[in-house]
Amino acid sequence: MRDFSRRLILQTGVATAALSVLPRKGSTQEGNETEAHGLSSFGELKYPPDFKHFDYVNPAAPKGGTLAIQIKQTYGNQNFDTFNTLNTFVLRGDGAAGMTSTFDSLMVGSGDEPDALYGLVAKSVRVSDDKLTYRFILRPEARFHDGSKLTARDAAFSLNILKTKGHPLYSQLLTQMASAEAESDEVLRVQFTPQRSRDLHLVVAGLPILSERYWQGRDFEASTLEAPLGSGPYKVGRFEVGRFIEFDRVPDYWAKDLAVNVGQNNFEHVRYEYFRDRTVAFEAFKNGTLNYNEEYTSRIWSTGYDFPAVREGRVKKEEIESGAPSTIQGWYFNMRRDAFKDPRIRQAIGLAFDFEWTNANIMFGLFKRTGSFFENSDMKAVGKPSPEELALLEPFRNKLPASVFDEPPVPPVSDGSGQDRRLLRRADELLREAGCKREGGGLRLPNGQPFRIEFLDFQPSLQPHTQPFQANLKRLGIDAVSRIVDAAQYQRRMEEYDFDMASRNLSGSSTPGDSLRLVYGSAAGKRPGSQNIAGIDDPAVDALIETIANAKSRQELTIAARALDRVLRSGHYWVPMWYRASEWLAYWDQFSRPATKPKLSSGAPGTWWYDAEKAKRIGRG
């Protein structure tokens, strides 16, 4: 499955490109051009033009078997618990898992490099000297699943309709794309505005290519249970709405022998099962309905894998260092609510979460506290700002908290009692400074309204962590409650920003860029369905995001990211949770894998394959 590479582009954001170039004779109206087989950021590509396959795959991996999994990461209009549409490109509906595997893109990512793309539908790309014009040279053999030719007209149609009618995930990324048009069947010309961000051309290169002919006469923004025509290594097979969806490997997939695909897409079928309860999902793994599971719950990881199949060796359990940036997880405030507009109130609420008690008593001591928006990376702000950081921050000094120019705020370390009186006393002081008043056993906001916080979620898995937090908030006089709604209602409420506090877990990035606009940018926070659920609206944040998105070197990017980290942390926009730097994997012992894993992930299960001999030995052949 190629979800890994597309997630790299759409969710963490890849940065742009110092090109690995080959001279091309002649010039165009845009000036001289250089031609490349791939794009990367700030340096040379690892793989040369004639590479045969990525180093972390087995080129001789057999095809066959079924991978049965749960959706563990969402994008666009997907949610974890259900689906009712196969159109994942728009805001409407709840999109099905796995649909990215049915579409090809111009280029795809490498698991060995944080921001490199290599040609898939496009065999190469020609770039003007001013880097405002990109001509993608398409492979003439590219085909959709119905045998029709995939042309530059399809690619241009895709970019244009995603910009005008696509989900905000797509449309917001493409605002600085001026035009996309086909010069011929094999040449796609993409023009960017002079304000273009550094990584926009990599975003464009990684977007799905749709069939213009298929969408003629169809409503692109409508929900549908008809699988849109694709060109990828898989196509939609059997499904039952809200229960499961299968993808069947395309045996005559046009790009199966290209270097970027060799050794991958090895399963004959990939099946996503949907469960509304994690306990039920885990039972499905134990009985073999699911045969692969990435675990996120520390209690289950520590105590749940003591069942017969594990003891007999039929189920394997292992922890693998991923090499990828840590995820960014926390409870976010909805600052569109009057109750959360004062940063002192937000800071006070954060003091009520006792991570040390939670980690020791609920999470078996397996996690570290998240303190930064760039945790576990050299982009994390440490100490006082450097002169280079100060140069970026000084223009906003009068509008920023003093803490931005000092040691960055860090989450408090409690005494581990679960109700640290020192921290709660400080929280009470901050609430009073902000104008809140005690009345009886409750707290009233400065406007006189009772202070009530609803934590919104769609499943109860975080309740053991949230309830002690809420108990401390109640000690401060805040009426803190949880509201668990069904997945569809949760999706709608989040898209409409109809919540007080909600948790969010976002992928980190080694090379942040355009995606930061979607998560922290002011414009995104004003649009329904964006990732800026907190409603961050700060010109300093916007300016630093632009600096990051247009950084010309890794050093420039790192300095700007540290400055942004200081501003975000000083804003107290969230109550940070926890992280770990490894992946917890469990699987029925019917798979094999390459000897080498990608540098930036475990490689599971995308580079694995079904091993018939192993399956036979454990009675699942």
**Per-residue pLDDT tens digits for 580-621:** 988 999 999 999 999 999 998 889 999 999 999 999 999 998
Do 392 and 427 belong together in one domain?
Answer: yes
Q: Is residue 65 in a domain?
A: no
Q: What is the pLDDT of residue 28?
A: 44
Nearest-angstrom CA–CA distance, 13 and 203: 8
pLDDT at 31: 61
87: closest CA among 355, 79, 78? 78
222, with CB counted inside 10 A (0-12, 13-18, 19+), is exposed
Domain check: are 585 and 572 in the same one? Answer: no
> What's the CATH code of the domain at 359?
3.10.105.10
- Within 10 angstroms of residue 367's Cβ, the number of other Cβ atoms is 17
For residue 514, give Cα distances in angstroms to 168, 521, 573. 13, 10, 20
* Residue 354 included in any domain: yes
Residue of 135, 113, 93, 141 lying closest to 40 (CA atoms): 113
Question: Do 439 and 535 sit in the same domain of this protein?
Answer: yes
Residues 552 and 478 in one domain: yes
Q: 394 and 295 in one domain?
A: no
pLDDT value of residue 5: 32
Residue 568 lies in a domain: yes
- 484 plus 589 within the same structural domain: no
Residues 397 and 296 in one domain: no
379 within domain boundaries: yes
User: 39 lies in a domain?
Assistant: no
Q: Within this chain, do residues 363 and 490 fall inside the same structural domain, yes or no?
A: yes
Q: Are 561 and 509 in contact (CB under 8 A)?
A: no
- Do 559 and 587 fall into the same domain? no
93 and 228 Cβ atoms separated by less than 8 Å:
no
Backbone angles phi and psi of 357, in degrees to 5: -65, -45
Do both 469 and 512 map to the same domain?
yes
Does any domain span residue 591? yes
- Of the candidates 482, 472, 466, 394, the one whose C-alpha atom is nearest the C-alpha of residue 431 is 472
Instruction: State the residue range of the domain holding 473.
Output: 329-579
The domain total for the chain is: 2
Per the domain annotation, does 93 fall within a domain? no
Residue 616 lies in a domain: yes
Do 348 and 313 share a structural domain? no
pLDDT < 50: residue spans in the chain: 1-29
- Using alpha carbons, list the distances in angstroms from residue 478 to 107, 352, 452, 576: 51, 11, 6, 19
| Whole-angstrom distance, CA of residue 375 vs CA of residue 325 | 8
The reply to whether 539 and 615 lie within a common domain is no
